[in-house]
Structure 1
Amino acid sequence: MSKVFSRRDLDFLLYEWLDAEALTARERFAEHSRETFDAFLDVSQQIAERDFAPHNRTGDLNEPTFDGERVTIIPEVGRALTVFAESGLIAAGMDAEHGGLQLPHVLQRACFLWFQAANTGTSAYAMLTSGNAHLLLTHGTEDQIRRYVHPMLEGRFTGTMCLSEPQAGSSLSDVATRAVRQDDGTYRINGGKMWISGGDHELSENIIHLVLARVAGAPAGVKGLSLFIVPKKSLETGERNGVVLAGLNHKMGYRGTTNTVLAFDDAAGELVGEEGRGLQYMFHMMNEARIGVGSGAVALGYTGYLHALAYARERQQGRPIGDKDPTAPPVPIVEHPDVRRMLLASKSYVEGGLALVLYAAKLLDEPSAENDLLLDTLTPIVKAWPSQWCRLADDHAIQVHGGYGYTREYPVEQFYRDNRLNSIHEGTDGIQALDLLGRKVTQKGGAGLGLLLDRIRATAARTPELGVPVTEAADRLAATTAKLWADPSTALVNATAYLDAAGHLVIAWLWLEQLLAAEGKEGAFYDGKRLAARYFVTHELPRIGPMLDLLDSGDTLLRDMDDAWLG
């Protein structure tokens, strides 16, 4: 069995639960079949295990360096990205008219999970490029698509998103980068950007930056932001285009991806769409990236779990409880109850998180007013819940390995370090909590939350035993939400507790969905699904009670405290 990811679980979720094969009845996917879907999954596993996984540790130990002129990255990264581009996977989900293969989003997400699990540092370049291309396909002109997107889909260019600035961080209303219109219709961009993943390297012919900036005379705040295409090199001359690498940030994890400080010094840029709508356009890439971050957290948690499971079955240590014979042979540590606790908890997190990201992806394949609203409501949870709980699976993986897990000789310590970033980038967990409680569950009179809870209750009604506590939790969340709406400013003080509670409820629902998909089927795999579903509903779902109690109380401690009291 692969320790990178689980093909068996992907097949179960795609075909036995989500019925991905039925998508081929839709016109967009009519050229596909179960055979083509399996072929994409096969080649993804093959490339991930052969070209990405082998240099995961090497890239971590030999992070990119900058000598003042250029960035140096281990050569295996470039070779892997070339193979990835040549496979057609970078454009697999794009329209055929742009060289894509119109693969369903849910299959594309399943395929990319292999790369995120095998080597999150190298796969990040591909993820950013794909998101950049998607945004321009949606909001760019035909000429911009021809000049910028097509080379990205061919693997010749890579892409980034440039939002954060040193003084602003996640507070995009404080973006200070300026754009000045020129007589020829272009703009000159001046300012600095911080934490730009993939912001400079020699892996591609060019790097296409999507930059948020404020046109001279634009109003303050996010309504004054516009979006610009700023290539690293001029497409006409091949010369550097005023995009200066000021330095590299050195991270705890994700070390294989360059993370940069960029200075835009009179760089030439092209406007995307209309002035003043930059953040609206950028949310197209940001929301895709948020789902990608959640997916990456699942992938890293899942591979950590698989490594821990394999180790626990191999490692001989100790004797069963009650066995007092010191001469008895040691047993595999998987037989010890606390190791089983950690493994079962991890299984429930990573397989639940995987169901979440694939469910979200399938909503994109079946667009409708309901599905669009449901995806909008779920996106903060898709991003934040795996970033916290699948990282806990990596924490458990270190613990299962004992002292060995805390050494560099075993990969689980890197999985944890890499996964730690996912709670930060593309909007911290706290930002996702504010988005969920402050926007998503209140928009359209609460229609999105109502739709989500209706689907949860409908599933719970089909699973009488385990469905009862899930229904009760859904009703409790609905009642708490209604109470919070009476005083939004107080409610938002404890938004993180709300996100945690809503996330656990959603995962419990998706475990019921998996339980139904496994109904009547025999074998260890299906027994494992039933076990994990029962564990999550009986051991994990009760966590939300104290969270909702806190929210119901109207507690304002975090708002009222004086920072001087912290010491």
Structure 2
Amino acid sequence: MSLRSSIDFLLYQWLNAPALNQRERFSDHSRDTFDAVLDTCERIAREKYAPFNRLVDTQEPHFDGDKVTLPQATHDAQKAYAESGMLSAAQDYDWGGMQLPYTVEAAANAFFACASVSIGSGMLTTGNANLLMAHGTEAQKNVFARHEFAGRWSGTMCLSEPQAGSSLSDVATRAVPDGADHESDPLGPRYRLKGNKMWISAGEHELTENIIHLVLAKIPGPDGKTVPGVRGISLFIVPKKLVTPEGQLTGERNDVALAGLNHKLGWRGTTNTLLNFGEGKFQPGGQAGAIGYLVGRPGEGLKCMFHMMNEARIGVGMAATMLGMAGYLASLDYARNRPQGRPMGVGGKDAAQPQIRIIEHADVKRMLLAQKSYCEGALALELFCARLVDEQHTGDAASADEARLLLEVLTPIAKSWPSEWCLEANSLAIQIHGGYGYTRDFPVEQYWRDNRLNMIHEGTHGIQAMDLLARKVLMENGRGLQLLAGRINQTIERAIQQPELAAHANALGAALQQVGSATKAAWATGVPTDALANAVPYMQAFGHTVLAWIWLDVALAVRASGSRDAAAQGRLAAARFFFHYELPKIGAWLRVVETRDQTCAELPEDAF
């Protein structure tokens, strides 16, 4: 198995990506152009990323009080990525883009995450620019987004603060109008920001000419007070270096200062920063306060920011998937080459016999098959979500609306499921290596460290669970959940006609019923604290049901292809493993949801 073979199968034989070329936006493309993009990204990842994954882990970013220093390999990789055109791949030709389907863009970017997620590609920069394309003014698009798509400038998202991580309603950063003429600035209403932002990935570096921060802040009213909660949050463009309305650098630094670098367990190749806005270290125009330009309308900052956050959540899911895949491929190679032990015979082991490779042991096969089922299944899920993005943007009105709602429901799963189970795959990869896996002589320990972040950033595991159970399955009177159930039932109806898959189809049908019953039971009292006490087990069961559906649908595609080669056998075995070993777990998870178990919620603090 290779990553490329998995991507090719999922793109072309499962999702039928070339069918998108029948749509006007993608009509210039063919499988040949898709393959060319995949070839280019695979090559850059192989040459510029993979050889330096350990280097960027050991040579952490260094701040000398003036600037941040990163290894030359990071500069070279970022330059190669920008020159590939992938930052603007999905944009219009007029914007220097390829008008590439997002499905293909997501698949192509998978190579970089697998080769070195720590070096990174362009997730935040592209997401930043895409937000401006959706909510910015024409001037903001032309000055900021255009330079980001070209790779000259990079982007961040600045949400969290030292005292307010996931609780964005407690954001304390303030923005006040900058002078009497602040409304007339060509780049948008101009404000001065003061506050602190924490955990800002790529918040300071010398990789690009400028860094464009998208910052959440509150605008005080005439009485000096702000609207409480998230309703008072607005969004601002705050460039590191000030620019003219024509997009030229003025040579003046904005009042954005690096307070320090966070020293992380993993992802060490990417800076993670604490930024001070308006501390007075730099004083543009002779006064303290970082200059920022309002995006959208006052008080709608979080609504705008969700455009980037949801995109980033799918990106995090893909990163988690690819880290799991990297560990799987490494442990598969190790298992094929490591001799250890002897086969069990009727009378026990015969020490006179030569050792066998560990891949011949049943328990090692179990661990490998678990990794394959997690990682290849998660890859299919992420590409399916990417396909929904294309449907949302280029389908007819009905299919676009359906895709929008399905994506709303699936986004918490696309972010959280790989971040939990592909992390487990990394743990299994270490286990297969034995003691060697726990050393830095092999890459699997770094994959685990890098992947451990993904359950935390872009909305923690618990936040995603509450989003799923409190919002997504209830929104629009449960229509999104009904649409998903309809898709799952369509797969069940097709699979039940095939004797080899009928048992899986019946098991999935039963699981879907359990999820539906548990959803109703969780909300039976109408009290949020009753329902949400077990939101994470609910999300685990929901996610496993979705992945079982994905695997059953992939299995149908395998059988439809007529192939009986090793790759086909492997995918069918991974599907079988998931149904036999994983799907049965949902019963225990849903039991506490259905009974609204309060064991955790009601335990007094002193009892701990």
TM score, norm. by length of structure 2: 0.91
> Are 1:547 and 2:579 an aligned pair?
no
Amino acid at match of 1:304: G
Counterpart-to-counterpart distance in 2, 1:531 and 1:462: 19
Residue 390 of structure 1 corresponds to: 422
Asked if the contact 2:330/2:429 (under 8 Å) is kept, the reply is yes
Q: Which residue of 1 aligns with 2:437?
A: 405
Task: State how 1:160-171 maps to structure 2 within 5 Å.
Answer: 160-171=156-167
What CA deviation, in whole Å up to 9, does each residue of 1:454-474 have, x standing for no partner? Answer: 111221122222100000000
Other-structure match for 1:251? 264
The answer (yes or no) to whether the contact 2:521–2:595 under 8 Å persists in 1 is no
1:223 equivalent in alignment to 2:240? no
Partner of 2:575: 533
Once structures 1 and 2 are overlaid, which stretch shifts more, 97-106 or 171-180? Answer: 97-106
**Matching of residues 494-513 of structure 1 within 5 Å:** 494-513=534-553
3-state DSSP class of the match of 1:247? strand
Mapping of 1:333-348 within 5 angstroms?
Answer: 333-348=358-373
Q: d(CA) in 2 for partners of 1:551 and 1:271?
A: 43
Q: CA deviation at 1:324?
A: 2.4
- How much does 1:54 deviate? 1.0
Q: Name the SS for the 1:239 alignment partner.
A: strand
Query: What SS does the aligned partner of 1:557 have?
Result: coil
1:474 maps to 512
1:212 to 216, 219, 227: 216
Shift of 1:150: 1.1
Match of residue 281, structure 1, among 295, 301, 304: 304
Deviation by residue 1:323-371 (Cα, 9 ceiling, x = unmatched): 5221211111000111111000000000110010000000011121111
List structure 1 segments (4+ residues) > 3 angstroms apart after TM superposition.
none
Which whole-Å deviations, capped at 9, do the CAs of 1:17-52 have from their partners, x for residues lacking one? Answer: 000000000111111110000000000100000001
Q: Provide the C-alpha distance between the structure 2 equivalents of 1:404 and 1:289, rounded to a whole number of angstroms.
A: 34
Please identify, of 393-402 and 474-483, the stretch whose mean Cα deviation from structure 2 is larger. 474-483
Cross-structure match for 2:123: 127
Deviates more, 1:149-158 or 1:410-419: 149-158
Which of 520, 526, 530 is the aligned partner of 1:490?
A: 530
Q: How many residues end up aligned between the 2 structures?
A: 562
| Equivalent residues of 2:523, 2:530 under 8 A apart | no
Distance 1:554 1:513 in 2: 32
1:189-210 per-residue CA deviation (whole Å, 9 max, x = no partner) reads 0000000000000111000000
- Amino acid corresponding to residue 65 of structure 1 in structure 2: H
Q: SS state of the match for residue 123, structure 1?
A: coil
Match of 1:260 among 269, 273, 276: 273
Match of 1:193, SS?
A: strand
- Asked if structure 1 preserves the Cα contact closer than 8 Å seen for 2:522 and 2:595, the reply is no
Q: CA deviation at 1:69?
A: 1.3
- Tell me which of 345, 352, 358 is aligned to 2:383: 358
TM superposition shift of 1:447: 0.7
C-alpha displacement at 1:184, in angstroms?
2.6
Deviation at 1:529, TM superposition (A): 0.9
Q: Residue in 2 aligned with 1:146? A: 142
Secondary structure, counterpart of 2:253 in structure 1: coil
- Does structure 1 residue 310 correspond to structure 2 residue 333? yes
**Residue 152 of structure 2: aligned partner:** 156
CA distance in structure 2 between the partners assigned to 1:349 and 1:281 by the alignment = 33
CA distance in 1 between partners of 2:505 and 2:101 (Å): 31
C-alpha contact 2:194 2:277 (8 A) present in aligned 1:
yes
| Structure 2 partner of 1:36 | 33
| Residues 157-213 of structure 1: CA deviation (Å, up to 9, x unaligned) | 000000000001110000000000122321000000000000000111000000000
Distance (whole Å) between structure 2 residues aligned to residue 213 and residue 434 of structure 1? 24
Gaps of 5+ in 2: 183-189, 245-249, 279-288, 393-399, 497-501
Give distance in 2, aligned partners of 1:96 and 1:490. Answer: 51
Aligned-partner residue type, residue 384 of structure 2 = Y
Please point out which of 25, 35, 48 is paired with 1:51.
48
Shift of 1:564: 1.1
Rounded to whole Å, the distance in 2 between the matches of 1:81 and 1:498 is: 39
**Counterpart residue type for residue 567 of structure 2:** F
Show CA shifts across 1:366-406 (max 9, x none).
12111110000000000000000011111000000011101
Show CA shifts across 1:70-99 (max 9, x none): 111001101111111111111111122211
Output the CA distance in 2 between the equivalents of 1:184 and 1:49: 52
* Pair 1:561 & 2:603 matched: yes
- Residue identity opposite 1:504 in structure 2: H
Matched, 1:299 2:307: no
- Residues of 1 paired with 2:195 and 2:147: CA distance? 27
In the aligned structure 2, how far is the partner of 1:441 from the partner of 1:426?
20
State whether structure 2 residue 352 is matched by structure 1 residue 327: yes
Question: One-letter code of the match for 2:546?
Answer: V
The percentage of aligned residue pairs carrying the same residue is 54
Deviates more, 1:556-565 or 1:153-162: 556-565
CA distance in structure 2 between the aligned counterparts of 1:157 and 1:554, rounded to whole angstroms: 49
In structure 1, distance between residues paired with 2:208 and 2:353: 60
Q: How far apart in 1 are the matches of 2:584 and 2:69?
A: 49
C-alpha distance in 2, partners of 1:120/1:86? 19
| Conserved? CA contact 2:375–2:425, under 8 Å | yes
Mapped to 2, the partners of 1:140 and 1:273 lie a distance apart of 6
Separation in 2, partners of 1:282, 1:222: 12
**2:541, 2:589 within 8 Å by CA — same for their partners in 1?**
yes
Q: Which amino acid aligns with 1:305?
A: Y
| Structure 1 residue 264 displacement after superposition | 0.2
Note if contact 2:230-2:302 (Cα within 8 Å) is conserved in structure 1.
Answer: yes
Give ranges in structure 1 of 5+ residues lacking alignment: none
Deviation at 1:489, TM superposition (A): 2.4
How far has the Cα of 1:521 moved from its partner? 2.0
Specify the alignment match of 1:521 in structure 2: 563
TM-score in terms of structure 1 length:
0.98
CA distance in 2, matches of 1:324, 1:271: 73
Q: Superposed, which structure 2 residues align to 1:5-24 within 5 Å?
A: 6-24=3-21
Q: Secondary structure at the match of 2:414?
A: helix
Give 1:261 shift: 0.2
Q: Distance in 2 between matches of 1:554 and 1:510?
A: 28
Q: Matches of 1:42 and 1:405 in 2, distance apart?
A: 31
Deviations for 1:475-509, whole angstroms, at most 9, x for unmatched residues?
Answer: 11111111222233201010001000000000000
